Structure formats: structure tokens, C-alpha cells
Structure 1
Amino acid sequence: MKTTPLESILTKSYKQEMLDYMEANPQDFNELVELAITNKQPYSWRAAWLLWSCMKKNDEMVAPHIGRLIKGLDSFKDGHQRNLINILLKMDIPEDYEGQLFDICVNLWMQIEKQSSVRIKAFEVMVSLAKTYPELQHEIKALASDEYIDALSGGIRKSCLRLLGEL
């Protein structure tokens, strides 16, 4: 199967070359979003990483895809999940999707075998939503038991405790 120019860039270029390509080829932005949301490896996790790197806060080209980003979050591997969460953290999440996103992030947080970097990003989303919905703070504090925090790497453990302090 023939690769697209974007797919080729994703596998053969360094970050700056990828960013330069996207700046020079804005018509490929939709393809980048589609690749990020699907599971077409080795392109998809890289597309998610590049999308996060080149998108604007509350990017209007990403906004229509928030539902699909959230819906598929559970079906990807750790690095891809981390990048998708990073994308979602740059977006204002519509109220219709907040509960679903919170539930998925709680599930990711509770999987202590997952990479610490994925778990802390999920926790960051949980804390962010709890700032909007204070009634979630008790649930988050209960989920911040030693069982879950001790499984994190040292630096990420400190980040988690800092986030807890924001509640």
C-alpha cells in the first residue's frame, strides 16, 4: 500500500522537519487528525504527537473530533494514549463528553501497570475536571491512595502530589 507524503514525513523526519512540513502543507491537517484518531501504525501515535505539537489551544480543526478522540482513547497503547490526552488537555471539552472522559481517565489511572506518564496525564484530566465539578474532588482524593501513587516513578509521583494540592 502506498504511503502518503504525510505518512512518509511521520516516519522519516525529525520533529522540526515535521513541524515545517505541517506549516507548509496545512491542507494535510485533516489527514493528521484522522491518523491520530485511528490505529494505523506506525503512523498514528506519531501523528498524535505531531498534532499535539502543532495544534493551537482549542484548535477549531480538532474540536469536531473530540468525541472520537475520547471514544477511542481506551483502544490505544500507552504512548498513543498519552499523546491523545495531551491533545485533549489543550481543548475545552464539551460538557456532553466530560463524564465519559473522566471515567476513561479514572480507568487509566487505576491501571498501575501502565506507564507513569500516561497515568499522570489521566490524573491531570481528572484534577482539571474536578476544578469545574468540585463534587469529584472526594473521589479523586480516594483514588490517590498509596496503592496508586507508589506505583509512579519518583518525579511523576511529585507531580501527582502537586496536582492533589491544587484540589
Structure 2
Amino acid sequence: MLLREEILKEHSKAQCNKIVAWVGDNQARFDQLFKLFTGNEYRVVQRAAWPISYCVIAHPNFIKKHWKQLINNLNKPNVHNAVKRNTLRFLEEVEIPEKYHGQLMDYCFTYVNTPTEPIAVKCFAMTVLSNLAKIYPDILPELKITIENLKPYASAGLMSRASKILKQIK
């Protein structure tokens, strides 16, 4: 498969599934996809984000050698919302190395507190924070306040996620 060309061909669930199936359980193919995901081609990065999340959820070991680059990718200027959304989607599901916990908590609190951040990014960030709060209960008060401050302006989806998380962390 000419991966870059397939990514650019179309942006659909079917195409995402085709790429995920092509990667399968092959680390080298995942590495190819990850290189495109962390590259500088805006459209390629955006479209690679979706299959990346499904590949990592299915094969958490794929990301092991890429953690540093993954976390740094979230800090790129003007990072595409698809990158944040899909990265946080799989971070809900995988064990995050301890040395990235602090940096990731900072990013997630920033995402949740940024009014212009898309709802899905906020929802995934809240879940990542709630998972990390099991390890770092000291962040619970800040997480509760952050979630409570969202309520007056939250969409139905954000309210639903916020309510579930507040029930879990009480």
C-alpha cells in the first residue's frame, strides 16, 4: 500500500478501517503511519490521526517507542484538532508512562479550560485527567472545579461526560 496516497485518497470510516487493517499487527507499518501522523503535511497529519487511534487501542505496544514524540506532537504550534482528539481518545485506553504524566496533565487541563477547544477534545481530556487522578489524587480538587466551571456553558455531550466523571471521582 502507498500509505500517504491512501490517506489522501479520502477521509471516511471505510478508508480508516482499510488503513487499520493494512497496519494489522505489524509494527513497521504502524511506524510508517506514525511518521505521517507526526509530519508537517497538514492534511496527511489530520487524516492519519483517526487510524492511529484505532491501531493503538488495538495494539497498545505499538506506541511504546513513540511516547516522547507523541507527547511533543501535542505541543506543536497550531496542532490540528484531529491530532488532539484522536491522541486523547487512545490515551483514555492505554497505560501512560509515568514520566509523561505531568506534561499530559498540563495539556489536558489547558484543553478543558480553553473555551475554543472542541467538545470532543475536552471530553477525552477530562477522561484522561480522571484516569490520572486515580494515581494522583491531589489533582481531584482542581479537576472538580474545572468540570464545575464548564457546566454553565457546556453542551449536552460535554455535560454528560462531566457528570459521569464527577460521579466517578467523588
**Which category of TM-score, normalised to the shorter sequence, fits these structures?**
0.7 to 0.9
Distance in 1, Cα, partners of 2:8 & 2:116: 28
What's the counterpart of residue 143 of structure 1? 146
Return 5+ residue gaps in structure 1 as ranges: none
1:92 aligns with 2:95: yes
Aligned Cα RMSD in Å? 2.1
Alignment partners' CA distance in 2, 1:100 and 1:26: 26
Q: Distance in 1 between matches of 2:92 and 2:99?
A: 16
Between the aligned partners of 2:25 and 2:113, the Cα distance in structure 1 is: 41
Mapped contact 2:57–2:90 kept (Cα < 8 A) = no
Once the two structures are overlaid, the 10-residue window that deviates more, 60-69 or 9-18, is: 9-18
Once the two structures are superposed, the pairs formed by residues 90-129 of structure 1 within 5 Å of their partners are 90-129=93-132
The structure-2 alpha-carbon separation of the partners of 1:149 and 1:68, relative to structure 1 and needing over 3 Å to count, comes to farther
TM-score by length of 1: 0.86
The residue that corresponds to 1:41 in the other structure is 42
Distance change in 2, residues 1:26/1:40 (3 Å): same
> Structure 1's 68 and 25: CA in aligned 2 closer, same or farther, altered over 3 A?
closer
TM-score normalised by structure 2 residue count: 0.84
Between 149-158 and 122-131, report the one with greater CA deviation.
149-158
CA deviation map 1:9-35 (0-9, x unaligned): 112252332233323976421111122
How far did 1:57 drift?
Answer: 5.2
Matched-pair contact (CA < 8 Å) for 2:17–2:51 = no
Q: Which runs of 5+ in 2 are unaligned?
A: none
Question: Structure 1 residues 144 and 26 mapped into 2: Cα distance closer, same or farther (>3 Å)?
Answer: closer
Distance 2:126 2:153 in 1: 14
Aligned-pair identity in percent equals 25
* Structure 1 residue aligned with 2:5: 8
For residue 9 of structure 2, what is the amino acid of its counterpart? Answer: K
